[in-house]
Amino acid sequence: MIQVTPVPAFTDNYIWLIGNTDNPCVAIVDPGDATPVLDALTRLAKQPVAILITHHHRDHVGGIDQLLQAYPDLPVYGPANEKIPHLNHPLTEGADVHLEALGLNFHVMELPGYTAGHIVYYGEGSLFCGDTLFANGCGRVFDGTLHDLYASLQRIAQLPADTQVYCTHEYTVDNIGFAKWVEPDNPALDARLEESWALLDAGHPTVPFELGREFDTNPFLRTHIPEVIAKAEEIAGRETHTPADVFAVLRIWKDTEYD
């Protein structure tokens, strides 16, 4: 059975250790900083067997060098279309990553938008999605496009509703704040906010989260909802014509007015 451990890093990052309940091996997802990972490996008596990278940003790849100094034989998986340090297993759409030591398999999806070559890992009922989808939100566009990001989120939305989503930042409460700008009368947001604060106050992350819950609270997955469309048209000062248009209005609004 899959067992995933969060390793907090920087101010709001999560590095994930993917393991199972049967052995001490783990795969490391997006190690932006090696120090907390090395500390966790020692504390938990875990042996790393792979590094999985979703995209090229420094807070996701910055720890690779130091980890390879400690564990020189670790394979580094990551997007073939981005520059990843020490990448020796480049991945494209449809590839599979079989972690033999763990008995786990992950399917690779190319989901550009946040960055042009962003990939995610899906398997074992879990999605390791880097910075594409967040709880109640999504990543902004860096070197991808709004069109690509919208399409990528729609692909995620087709996954089973009970998928456990492991994003890489603790942005949930802040994202709910923006979602309430979009839908101030959505009671599901109030419930999600109360739950999120309870988790944080108890010292627990708000991640992972169940994908299906996002359809009630995440404005970027609710671009077909009349209230969300109305808010987008109010902000844009014009009619919107497609859910993708609604998405673009909301994402630009968040970038320019909220963040």
Structure confidence by residue, pLDDT tens digits, 40-57: 999 999 999 999 999 999
Residue-number span of the structural domain to which 151 is assigned: 2-258
Q: How far apart are CA 56 and CA 17, in angstroms?
A: 19
> With contact defined as beta carbons under 8 Å apart, do 9 and 15 qualify?
yes
For the chain, the domain total comes to 1
Residue 65 among known ligand-binding residues:
no
**Using N-to-C axis directions, what is the helix angle for 172-182 and 187-201, rounded to 10°?**
170
Number of C-beta neighbours around residue 212 at 10 A: 14
Q: How far apart are CA 130 and CA 121, in angstroms?
A: 9
Burial of 184 (0-12, 13-18, 19+ CB in 10 A): exposed
Average pLDDT for the chain: 97
Q: How far apart are CA 60 and CA 28, in angstroms?
A: 11
* Model confidence band, residue 259 (pLDDT cutoffs 50, 70, 90): low
Whose CA is closest to 231, among 220, 54, 81? 220
DSSP code per residue over 170-208: --HHHHHHHHHHH-TT-HHHHHHHHHHHHHHHTT--S-S
Helix (H) or strand (E) holding 17: strand 13-20
- pTM exceeds 0.85, yes or no: yes
Q: Average pLDDT for residues 215-234, to the nearest whole number?
A: 98
Residue 169 among known ligand-binding residues:
yes
> With contact defined as beta carbons under 8 Å apart, do 153 and 132 qualify?
yes
> With contact defined as beta carbons under 8 Å apart, do 95 and 132 qualify?
no
Q: Average pLDDT for residues 61-78, to the nearest whole number?
A: 98
Residue 33 among known ligand-binding residues:
no
Contacts 24+ apart (CB under 8 A), 84-92: 84/53, 84/56, 85/61, 87/53, 91/119, 92/119
DSSP percent split of the chain into helix, strand, coil, nearest 5: 35, 25, 35
DSSP 62: T
Q: How far apart are CA 173 and CA 170, in angstroms?
A: 8
> With contact defined as beta carbons under 8 Å apart, do 67 and 48 qualify?
yes
Residue-level pLDDT at 1: 85
Residues ≥6 apart with Cβ < 8 Å to 241: none
Q: Output the domain CATH number for residue 124.
A: 3.60.15.10
Q: How far apart are CA 227 and CA 162, in angstroms?
A: 25
Residue-level pLDDT at 21: 85
Q: How far apart are CA 128 and CA 5, in angstroms?
A: 12
DSSP 169: B
Residue 143 among known ligand-binding residues:
no
Structure confidence by residue, pLDDT tens digits, 124-158: 999 999 999 999 999 999 999 999 999 999 999 99
